[in-house]
Each structure stands twice: as structure tokens, then as C-alpha cells.
Structure 1
Amino acid sequence: MENFTNETIDTSNLPRYETVALTKLHPNYWKEILISRGLVLLVLGIAVVFGVVFIEELTDYKGLVVSIYGLFVLVFFFFSNIAYKKKAYAFRNHDVIFRSGIIATNTMVIPYNRVQHVALHEGFIARFFGLAKVEIFTAGGVSSDLEIPGIAKEEAENIKQLLMGKIQKQL
């Protein structure tokens, strides 16, 4: 009969994901963000203008409403830029790392042996800039567990092939 042991692990000697050099998203991804979110804000801005013009209760507050909307747009793009700059990824021998966040930084580490499916997605604007998004699905989920946007399409295809190869080795 084998003796059961449950030794304590010295966590200070474990490999640190924080020391991994992460790859930033493609610079064209910022352009994609500006266009896609700019279009949404344009539609919202048109609604604000129509509201100020046609809603009598707002006519006395035109300047205030437009100023608040302008401030909202500036803050929105400021935080979008921070989010863009914080996103980065790395593919190691046994796992994929993705960092994101605005105020708090979130880091996801997904071992390849948990990956069930990989998808490549190109939106209309992303395709114009030659970008794609890699979606990684793990067991038990309906939606992707990890989405890495803003990757050059050729590199995204290489990443998909890498991950598909890792999945095949597990079978």
C-alpha cells in the first residue's frame, strides 16, 4: 500500500506568468476601434441633436446637453485607448496568456489541454484593416472563453493552426 503524502508547494519558486513578454495588439486595431465605436457614437450624437431640437423641455439646455455628450465622447475614447493599450497576449509551450482591463488588469492563462475548439472571426471593419479575432473555446462553454482581437489575419491563421495542432495531439 502506497503512503499518501500532501506536501506544501513553495509558491515563490513557481514559474511567473508576469515575466512573460506579451505581444501587443496590431496598431490597426486602434483604428478599427475608432471607426466602429465612432459610428455608434455618431448615431447616438444624432439622437442627442434630434432630442435637443425636437423636445421642448431640452431647448433651454442645448449647450449643457451637447457639452455633456461631448465630455462623454472624450471619456469614452480615453478609456477605450487605455483598454486597447493594456490588451496583450502570448503563446507558450503549454498555454496561452491574455491580459486586458481598464482599471483592474485581468490575466487569463488557458492551458492547451483545456482547449476544445478554435475559431477565427473577421468583422467588416477588421477585414478592411487585415485583422482578425481568435476565439478559444474550452470544455463546458457555449461562448468563447477567450477572444484575442486585433491580430493580423495571417498571424491569426497561424495561431489557429498552432492551437488546432495542440488539440489534435491531445486526441
Structure 2
Amino acid sequence: MDPIAKEEFSNIKLNVASLPAYEEVQLHSLAPKFLWKLNIGTLISALFFLVVLTVAFTFFEPFRPYLWFAAAVWILLFGWSFFSNIQLMKRNGYALREKDVIYKRGFLFEKTTIVPFNRIQHVSVERSFLDKLLNLATLKVYTAGGSGSDVSVPGLFPDNATSLKEEISARISGHA
């Protein structure tokens, strides 16, 4: 007889109130230099649109009233973008718990991702050119079935990202 068939099926109802609340977990902040990276990206975009507006003002004189409106919208959007970057730095964070990894991001629309260690296939640390200039790294956590990482924690110091990678690797291989 099949050993699996001998086991009795059980599906006990859980007391939802007794489950641990991830919202109460103290999250670690991202590296302060990550704000620089966010603002550099915003600044590059702002400069590109400034060039486009300058060219438009030069060559499309009949549309100047509309271009002034576009310039006002441009100022508001990029002002909002810098404000958004600051808010993201205040609210984004990560935590490593006994059985999972938590990453929280966003401020208008917050999203929290929790990945249990038993679902993690592998982890990696990546650094872009700008990350290297600012001494930052991104921790990527991969689970089965996905084409990309399930959790990507940017804005970590490289040593911290490597330590987290080693800890998660040890836990998923059963050595922790």
C-alpha cells in the first residue's frame, strides 16, 4: 500500500488573530545614499524634459501658451518626484525573520512582500554603475516559477547585502 495513502487528511481552521502581525516588525531602513540615486534619476529625467521644452519654445512659437502650461506641469511633476523620493526613503524597509524575508515599499500605495525561506530558490547581489559610484547594492531574492526576482531590495550597503545573501543562503540550504 502507498505510504502517502495511509496518512489522514487534515485541514484545521487557523485562528487568524493568533498569527504573527508583519506590520509590527521593526524594518531596517535603506542606505541614505539611496536617496541620492533616486534623485539623480529624477534629475536626469528633469534635464531631458527641460531640453525638450527649450527646443519647443525655440521652434514652436505659436504654441507658447501651451508650452507655458507644459512648463508649469513639468515643475509640479518633478517637484512631486523629489518629494516622492524622500517619502520612499522614510517608508521603505526590509526585515529578516526566523522563517521569512519582508520587504515594504511605496508610500501612496504601499506594498509588502513576504517570502518564506522554504520558497526561495536562490539570492544574488547586484550593483549597477551608479550603485558602484554610490557604494550601494541590490539584494535579489528568487523563488521557483518566476522569470525575475520576487523581492528586490535596493539601496543596501554592499557589505550588508552580502551578509543578508549569505544568511538567506544558509537558511535555505538548511545550515542555519
State whether TM-score is above 0.5: yes
Name the structure 2 match of 1:115. Answer: 120
Higher mean alpha-carbon deviation, 134-143 vs 116-125, is at: 116-125
Among residues 155, 163, 168, which one is paired with 1:158 in the alignment?
Answer: 163
Q: Are residues 138 and 3 of structure 1, via their aligned partners in 2, closer, same or farther at CA, if it must alter by over 3 Å?
A: closer
Distance 1:162 1:5, change over 3 A: closer
TM-score by length of 2: 0.87
Any unmatched runs of 5+ in structure 2?
Answer: 1-5
Query: 1:3/1:58 Cα in 2 relative to 1: closer, same or farther (>3 Å)?
Result: same
Match of 2:134 among 118, 124, 129: 129
Report what 2:46 is aligned to: 41
The alpha-carbon deviation at position 36 of structure 1 amounts to 2.0
Gap change, CA 1:63 and 1:4, over 3 Å in 2: closer
Size of the alignment, in residue pairs?
A: 170
Asked whether the 8 Å contact 1:36–1:125 carries over to 2, the reply is: no
The equivalent position to 1:31 in structure 2, one of 21, 36, 40, is: 36
TM-score of the superposed pair, with normalisation by structure 1 = 0.89
1:1-150 paired onto structure 2 within 5 Å: 4-150=9-155
Deviation at 1:143, TM superposition (A): 0.7
Q: Root-mean-square deviation (CA), in Å?
A: 1.9
The share of aligned pairs that are identical, in percent, is 28
Deviation at 1:169, TM superposition (A): 2.1
Pair 1:6–1:142, CA change in 2 (3 A):
closer
Q: More deviation in 64-73 or 141-150? A: 64-73
Secondary structure of the structure 2 residue equivalent to 1:144: coil
| Stretches of structure 1 lacking an aligned partner (at least 5 in a row) | none
Aligned-partner residue type, residue 61 of structure 2: E
